[in-house]
Amino acid sequence: MLDKAPLGVSTIRLTVNGEAVTVSADPFASLANTLRDELGLTGTKIGCDAGDCGACTIRVDGEQACACLVSTGQAEGADIETVEGPGPDGLTEKLRKAFLAHGAAQCGICTPGMLMAATDHLARNPATSRAEIEDALGGVLCRCTGYLKIVDAILDVAGGSVLETPRAEGGNAVGARIARVDGWPKVAGTDLFGADDAPADALWMRVVRSPHARATFTLGDLDAVVAATPGLETILTHKDVPGENSFGIFPHTRDQPVFAEGHARFRGEAIVALVGTKEAVYGLSDTDLPIAWTVEPPVTGVGEARIDGAHVVHSGKPDNVLASGRVKCGDVEGARPTAAVIAEGRFETGFVEHAYIEPEAGFAVPVGDRMEITCCTQAPYMDIDETARVLGVEKSQVRIRPSACGGGFGGKLDVSVQPLLAVAARVMGKPVRIVYTRTESMSSSPKRHPAQVWARSSADGEGRLVSFELDGDFNTGAYASWGPTVAGRVPVHGMGPYKVPNVLTEARAIYTNETPAGAFRGFGIPQAAIAHETLLDDLAEKLKMDRWQIRRINALGNGDTTPSGQTLHASAGLPECLDALKPDWEAALQRVAEFNARSDGRKRRGVGIGCMWYGCGNTSVANPSTMRITLKQDGTLTFFNGAVDIGQGSTTVLLQMAADGLGLAPDQFDMVIGDTDLTFDAGKTSASRQTYVSGNASRLAGEDLRAKILKLANAGEDARLSLDGGTLTIADGQASRTIDLATLEADGEGIVLDGIGTWDPPATALDENGQGSPYGTYGFAAQTAEVEVDMRLGTVKVIDIVAAHDVGRAINPTLTEGQIHGGIAQGLGLALMEEYLPGRTENLHDYLIPTVGDIPPIKTYLIEDAEPTGPYGAKGVGEPALIATPPAILGAIRHATGVTVRQVPVLPHRLWESLNGESGS
C-alpha cells in the first residue's frame, strides 16, 4: 500500500478486464490517464478531466465511475472494467451490437462512456425502463445523437431482442438502413481519435494562452527557462514560425497569428508554446515564464465595437466591421404601407460552444522535407493550405491524415493544433503531439456568433407576406474565422423559407476582443430564424390566423422564386413538410388546450412551430468533390473517399451511393478515408454538402467504373455485376460474361480499372443586392415543439417534438434520423440553456448542454422531394436539423405563457423576469 510518502512514480497493482496488471505511475495521475498512457487502453476517452462529460466512464469494483476522478493510487487492488472488456456475462458485447444496429454511435467519442454506463446499469437492473436508463446515463454527455437511439439500443438489450441491420445488395444500397460501415471500431473502443495515437518518441506540446481579453506583452529570457527546466526542449514564439505567422479562412482574412506578436486580442489566444517531455511541459506553470503583461480595456459586444471612438481591433478595419452582406428585392418602403399588419422586434443570442466531446488533439511527424499531421479535423485540404503557408512550403509538402473526429459541428473547420504542431515539429525535427484541455478547447476555439438582430415583417389581410427587413450585427470576436460566411448567408436566408416579394436584409460580422466566432451548424441562420419565425407568429396573432396556416400559405414550393431571384424548380418540399405534420400540430393544440383547461395555473403547456431552409454547399463558390474507386487484379475493390466523417455518417452514405453507382454491394469495398496523400479533395465537411456534393462524386465514380466494366464486357446498362475474388461476372439478360481480373493489364499498384467522379454544385455569384443562385439546392424543414412551463419558476421542459424534413432522398434513414435528433438536441440547448461567457463558462459544468433527460420524444417525417441535381435525389440535412428547433420552442413558450421571448437561452430566471414584468438581465 502507498501508506508512506513516495515521491514520484509508484508501483500499483490492479485488475483490468479480468487480468492482473502492474503499472508504474504517478499515484495522483488520474486513472483515465494511466489506462491510456501506461496500459494503452485508449478506449477510455478524456473529454473534460473534470467528471462533467462521462466519456471516461469505467467500472471500478462493479460501479460506474469517471476514470478522470479516480486517482491511480486509488486503483490499487481494484477491479477495473473498461470498454475494451466484454462486460459481465458479455453484456458490453451485446450493447455494442445494439448500438451499431440503432445508429446509437455517431462520432463515437462518448460511446465508450455510454456503453460502460449502460453495462453498469443493466448488470444491476436487467429489467429496466426508459426512465431508469436515463438516470443511469445522466452522467454521460453526447453531442451528436440526441440520446434517443442510445436509449432505444439499451432497451433492446434489456428486452433481449437486438435489432438486425440489413445487408445491402449491389444496386439497392441507397435507402437501406445499413449499420455505419465505420461503426465497429467506435463501439469496440478501438477507433483512434486525435489523442489516441502518436509515435512513441513524440515530444509533448503545451500552449501558453493569454488570460486577458486584450493586453500587450513582452517576453523575457525564455532560453534561460529552457536551460533551467529538465526535459523542456524549447519555448516557441512567433519568431519560430518559418513562414507566415497567420491563418484564416479566406485569402483576405488570414488575420489570426499562430503565436501572438506582442498583442493579445482575446482570452485564450496562443502566446508561446512549451515543447518537451510531458512531465516538463505540464510541470512548468505559465507564471513561471517571463511574460510581462499590460492589460488594456477590451471591446466587449458589438455595441461597444460600433460606437465612435471604439478601440480598433484590426487596423485595416477602422469601424470594426469585418464583412457585410445584403439581399434586396422589390420595394420594401413602397410595399410595407400597403400591408394589413406589421410586426417588428429585436432579438439577441449569445456565444454558443460546439461542445464536441473530443478536445482538439493530434501529432505532427516531419518526414524528410515533408510534414505529416494526424489530427481531428473537418477540412483536411484547408488544413494543408494553412499549414503550408505557416511553414513557408509548397502545399505538396504537407500531408493531413485525419484521425477519427469526436464531433465537429463547424468547430473543427478552422485549424487549431495543425499550425502549432507543424511549427513545433519543424523546429524540433522530431514528432510532436498535443492534446488540448477542455478549458483550452473552449477558450480558444471559435463559437457560434452572438447576434443582435432587428427585423420587421408585414403581411396582407390573408396572411401573405408583403415585406421583410432584417438588420443584424454578428459578433465575430477577435479574428475573422468564418465571419464573412455568416454575413453572407444570413441575408440570403434571413426572411425564412417563404415567398416574400419585398426584402431588405443586411448582416455584418463585427470584430471585438472576445473569443473568435466562426462556423457552427447553420452559419448564423439559426439566430436569424428566431427573428423571422417570431415575427411570423406576431403576424398570425394580429391576423387571428393559425400559425401553421400562415406558414403554409407563404411556404416556398416548387416553382417559386427566392428573394435572391433563384427559382426553385424542384425539391422545395416545405409545403409537404408542413402537410406531413399538420395532424400532429392539430392534435398538439388540442392536447395543450385540454391540459391548460385542467391546470391550476402552475404548469401550462404550449405548442410552437418553426420552419427553415438552408442552402447546401458553399455560398456562390466552386466547392467540388472528387472520389475514386479502384479495382485490382486480385479483386480488391477500394473506395478512396476524402470526405471526413465527423460522426454524421458520410463514410457510410457515400459508400452506399458509390456502391449503387457501380452495382456491387457496400460490403465488397475496402475503404481509404481522408488521407490527403491517398484521396482526392472532397472539400470540407461543412455546409451540409457531403451527401449532396461528395454523394454525386461518389455516384459518378461508381458509374464511371461501371461504364468501363460494361464496355469491357460489351454489356448493356442493365447488366448485373458480381465480384468473387479476382473474378468479375457481368450478367446481361440471359448472357453472362466472366472476366478474370488477373488477365487485365495492371498499373504498378495492381489496379486494372478505376472510376473517378467529380462534381461541383451549380451556383452563381451574388450581385451587390444579393441576387443570384448561391446554392444548388436547399434543405427545408418544419418542426413543432410542445413544452410545459412552470409559471412560478420559469422552467421549461420540452415534452414532444415533431420534425418533418425534406431531405430529397434519405440515403440511410437511420443516419438521417440521427442527424435530425442530434440537431434538435443542439437547437434545444441553444434555446434553453447554452451560453458561452468567456472566462466564466470554460468547462462543461458551467456551460450546459442537454443531457439524456432533457430530450423529448422526437417523431420524424422524412420528406423525399427528390433533388434532380442531387445523387439519387439526395441533399443535406446536417444543419437543417437544428435551425427550426429554437423558434419552435420559443413559439411554444409563448403559446403557454403569453410571453414573447426575444433573447436566448431562455434560462429560468429570464423567463421568470418576463412573466413577472421585470427587466431582463
**Minimum CB separation from another protein for residue 118, in Å?**
11
Half-sphere exposure of 9 (CA within 13 A, CB side): 8
Q: Is 750 in the site for another protein (CB under 8 A)?
A: no
What number of other Cβ atoms are within 10 A of residue 28's Cβ? 10
**Residue whose C-alpha cell is 462534381:** 759
Segment contacting another protein (CB under 8 A): 137-145, 151-159, 167-175, 634-642? 137-145
What are the backbone angles phi and psi of residue 813, rounded to the nearest 5°? -55, -35
117 or 659, CB closer to another protein?
117
**Minimum CB separation from another protein for residue 528, in Å?**
25
Output the CA–CA distances (angstroms, integers) from residue 473 to 323, 327, 346, 451, in the order listed.
Answer: 10, 15, 11, 6
Q: Is 50 in the site for another protein (CB under 8 A)?
A: yes
118 or 662, CB closer to another protein?
118
Q: Is 22 in the site for another protein (CB under 8 A)?
A: no
C-alpha cell at 790: 412552470
What number of other Cβ atoms are within 10 A of residue 263's Cβ? 14
96 or 438, CB closer to another protein?
438
Segment contacting another protein (CB under 8 A): 5-13, 103-111, 255-263, 779-787? 5-13
Q: Is 13 in the site for another protein (CB under 8 A)?
A: no
Reference 216, options 297, 312, 289; nearest CA is 297
What is the separation, in whole angstroms, between the first and last Cα of the chain? 54
Q: Is 913 in the site for another protein (CB under 8 A)?
A: yes
**Minimum CB separation from another protein for residue 126, in Å?**
17
d(CA 780, CA 808): 9
C-alpha cell at 142: 453526447
104 or 137, CB closer to another protein?
137
Q: Is 92 in the site for another protein (CB under 8 A)?
A: no
Give the residue, chosen from 88, 199, 301, 908, that forms a contact with another protein under the rule CB under 8 A.
Answer: 908
Give the residue, chosen from 372, 383, 440, 537, that forms a contact with another protein under the rule CB under 8 A.
Answer: 440
**Residue whose C-alpha cell is 486480385:** 634
**Minimum CB separation from another protein for residue 282, in Å?**
6
What is 55-102 written as a DSSP string?
TTEEEETTEEEEGGGSBTGGGTT-EEE-TTS--GGGHHHHHHHHHHHH
**Minimum CB separation from another protein for residue 507, in Å?**
28
Contact 888, 600 (CB under 8 A): no
C-alpha cell at 768: 451587390
Residues touching another protein: how many (CB under 8 A)? 86
Q: Is 843 in the site for another protein (CB under 8 A)?
A: yes
3-state secondary structure of 377: coil
Where are the extended beta strands (E) located within 487-586?
A: 502-511
d(CA 413, CA 24): 39
The secondary structure element, H or E, covering residue 858 is: strand 858-863
839 or 868, CB closer to another protein?
839
Segment contacting another protein (CB under 8 A): 247-255, 624-632, 725-733, 909-917? 909-917
Segment contacting another protein (CB under 8 A): 58-66, 567-575, 705-713, 809-817? 58-66
Reference 811, options 853, 761, 862; nearest CA is 862
**Minimum CB separation from another protein for residue 740, in Å?**
58
Contact 807, 875 (CB under 8 A): yes
Output the CA–CA distances (angstroms, integers) from residue 738 to 40, 328, 666, 705, in the order listed.
Answer: 48, 61, 21, 16
Q: Is 11 in the site for another protein (CB under 8 A)?
A: no
Segment contacting another protein (CB under 8 A): 301-309, 592-600, 647-655, 901-909? 901-909
d(CA 856, CA 148): 9
The secondary structure element, H or E, covering residue 150 is: helix 148-159
754 or 790, CB closer to another protein?
790
Segment contacting another protein (CB under 8 A): 396-404, 434-442, 710-718, 771-779? 434-442
Q: Is 909 in the site for another protein (CB under 8 A)?
A: yes
Give the residue, chosen from 211, 325, 472, 488, that forms a contact with another protein under the rule CB under 8 A.
Answer: 211
Q: Is 282 in the site for another protein (CB under 8 A)?
A: yes
Segment contacting another protein (CB under 8 A): 15-23, 56-64, 543-551, 628-636? 56-64
**Minimum CB separation from another protein for residue 916, in Å?**
8
Q: Show the binding pattern over residues 379-418: x = contacts another protein (CB under 8 A), - = does not.
A: ----------------------------------------
Q: Is 284 in the site for another protein (CB under 8 A)?
A: yes
Give the residue, chosen from 22, 315, 734, 921, that forms a contact with another protein under the rule CB under 8 A.
Answer: 921
Give the residue, chosen from 559, 792, 859, 898, that forms a contact with another protein under the rule CB under 8 A.
Answer: 792
599 or 758, CB closer to another protein?
599
d(CA 335, CA 766): 24
Residue 735 pairs with which residues in a beta bridge?
732
C-alpha cell at 795: 422552467
C-alpha cell at 872: 439519387
d(CA 514, CA 156): 46
Q: Is 857 in the site for another protein (CB under 8 A)?
A: no
Residue 672 pairs with which residues in a beta bridge?
640
Q: Is 868 in the site for another protein (CB under 8 A)?
A: no
**Minimum CB separation from another protein for residue 842, in Å?**
7
Give, as ranges, the residues between 103 and 132 that touch another protein (CB under 8 A): 117, 120
328 or 448, CB closer to another protein?
448
**Minimum CB separation from another protein for residue 912, in Å?**
5
Q: Is 848 in the site for another protein (CB under 8 A)?
A: yes
Give, as ranges, the residues between 811 and 840 that touch another protein (CB under 8 A): 832-833, 835, 837, 840
**Minimum CB separation from another protein for residue 591, in Å?**
22
Reduced 3-state DSSP string for 449-479: CCEEEEEEEEECCCCCEEEEEEEEEEEEECC
Contact 387, 405 (CB under 8 A): no
835 or 864, CB closer to another protein?
835
**Cα 281-286-287 angle, rounded to 5 deg:** 135
The secondary structure element, H or E, covering residue 489 is: helix 483-493
Contact 81, 87 (CB under 8 A): yes
- CB neighbour list of residue 687: distance below 8 Å, 6 or more residues apart: 523, 615, 616, 617, 618, 619, 623, 876, 879
Q: Is 64 in the site for another protein (CB under 8 A)?
A: yes
Segment contacting another protein (CB under 8 A): 204-212, 390-398, 515-523, 878-886? 204-212
Cα-only R_g, the chain: 28
Segment contacting another protein (CB under 8 A): 65-73, 474-482, 528-536, 746-754? 65-73
d(CA 826, CA 642): 27
48 or 109, CB closer to another protein?
48
288 or 586, CB closer to another protein?
288
Q: Is 309 in the site for another protein (CB under 8 A)?
A: no
Segment contacting another protein (CB under 8 A): 3-11, 148-156, 193-201, 465-473? 3-11
Give the residue, chosen from 446, 794, 838, 856, that forms a contact with another protein under the rule CB under 8 A.
Answer: 794
Q: Is 14 in the site for another protein (CB under 8 A)?
A: no
